[in-house]
Amino acid sequence: MGHTTSNSPLASSRPLSSCPGSPPSPHIHASPLSSCHGFPRIPPPLRLQPWFPPHPSASSPRAARGARPAEGRLRSAGGARGGMSGELGARRRLLEERVRPFPDFPCPGVLFRDITPLLKDPIAFRTVVDLLEAHLKARYPQIDFIAGLDSRGFLFGPVLAQRLGIGCVLIRKKGKLPGPTESVSYALEYGQAELEIQSDAVEPGEKVVLIDDLLATGGTMCAACELMKKLKAEVLECAVVIELKSLKGAEKLKPFPVYSLLQYD
């Protein structure tokens, strides 16, 4: 299901950081699911059999009003992108269908990968956490902390840490954390940004997995790795739900391994 990156293919997306005054990218392409007018269409829930009992909230009236959870039997469907087939392929397709592409957001030339439908569907969200949990348990038996990146990394970090029975530390944008902090500034295409961590968040030698929703140019994740370096912690892996391969973030992050559940060009 997931993907551990060593190298990335050709560029075709524009990073969010290139917004101010930048011309539209000639490489941007809208997904067939997307619509030029308003909200891109999200396909109806798959008819899949849950491989675990759905949370009670999945059948609540409130859940039913929103993006309904996928239900029915998981079948071997074969041939998902990346050579995935069967149940893993079906899970992956479910996730893909819950990521909504928005062309030209937040500015012309950016194809924004919107995870709000994924968060709204309890089965899809749970699938993300299940898959990340299974990967991390299999690959890294000893993790001391999950570190969530501000802000969408916070949607996954604490939940994942709970599953693993460990704590979650926060890497935040400048000026949000009290007490002594370490900070790292990183270049955006236009200007600078800064990430911070509390100086006592992790101890030297502790093993940390960084988590964010999405890897684009890798600038944000790279700054987070720098913060860990400042605290002398060991970064085991940079894990993301979505990797925009064409922006080559994984190359920028070397030698730190990158793991992603969904990859887009």
Ligand X SMILES: O=P(O)(O)OC[C@H]1O[C@H](OP(=O)(O)OP(=O)(O)O)[C@H](O)[C@@H]1O
Ligand Y SMILES: Nc1ncnc2[nH]cnc12
Does 223 interact with ligand Y (rule: CB under 6 A)? no
Q: Please choose which of ligand Y, ligand X, none residue 110 contacts, taking the beta carbon within 5 to 8 angstroms, the exact cut-off set by kind.
A: ligand Y
Does 112 interact with ligand Y (rule: CB under 6 A)? yes
Minimum distance, C-beta of residue 38 to ligand Y, in the bound complex (Å): 18
**Measured CA angle at 256 (ends 158, 183), to 5 deg:** 65
Number of CB atoms found within 10 A of residue 229's CB: 13
Does 111 interact with ligand Y (rule: CB under 6 A)? yes
Q: Which of 91, 113, 152, 172 is catalytic?
A: 152
Q: Which residues, at least 6 apart from 165, have a Cβ–Cβ distance to it below 8 Å?
A: none
> Which C-beta is closer to ligand Y: that of 112 or that of 140?
112
Report CA-CA distances (Å) from 22 to 17, 101, 121, 160. Answer: 10, 20, 34, 37
Of 83-91, 105-113, 137-145, 160-168, the segment contacting ligand Y by CB under 6 A is 105-113
Q: Please choose which of ligand Y, ligand X, none residue 148 contacts, taking the beta carbon within 5 to 8 angstroms, the exact cut-off set by kind.
A: none
Q: In whole angstroms, give the CA distance from residue 195 to residue 212.
A: 13
> Which C-beta is closer to ligand X: that of 40 or that of 249?
249
What is the chain's Cα-based Rg?
19
Q: Which of 71, 87, 189, 206 is catalytic?
A: 189
Among 147, 170, 214, 253, binds ligand Y (CB under 6 A): 214
Does 99 interact with ligand X (rule: CB under 6 A)? no
Of 11-19, 46-54, 71-79, 228-236, the segment contacting ligand X by CB under 6 A is 11-19
Q: How many residues does the chain have?
A: 265
Q: Which of 228, 257, 258 is nearest to 241 (CA)?
A: 258
Per the annotation, the verdict on 163 as an active-site residue is no
- The answer to whether the beta carbons of residues 170 and 150 sit under 8 Å apart is yes
Q: In whole angstroms, give the CA distance from residue 149 to residue 158.
A: 11
What one-letter code names the amino acid at 239?
A
Task: Find tokens 């988590």 and name the residue.
Answer: 211
Q: Which of 77, 38, 75, 69 is nearest to 53 (CA)?
A: 69
Does 94 interact with ligand Y (rule: CB under 6 A)? no
Q: In whole angstroms, give the CA distance from residue 79 to residue 244.
A: 21
Q: Please choose which of ligand X, ligand Y, none residue 111 contacts, taking the beta carbon within 5 to 8 angstroms, the exact cut-off set by kind.
A: ligand Y
Per the annotation, the verdict on 189 as an active-site residue is yes
Residues 182-221 vs ligand X: string with x where CB under 6 A?
------------------------------xxxxxxxxxx
> Which C-beta is closer to ligand Y: that of 16 or that of 208?
16
Task: Find tokens 């996730």 and name the residue.
Answer: 95
Residues lying near ligand X in the complex (CB under 6 A) are found at 15-17, 149-152, 212-221, 249
**Which residues are known catalytic residues?**
152, 189
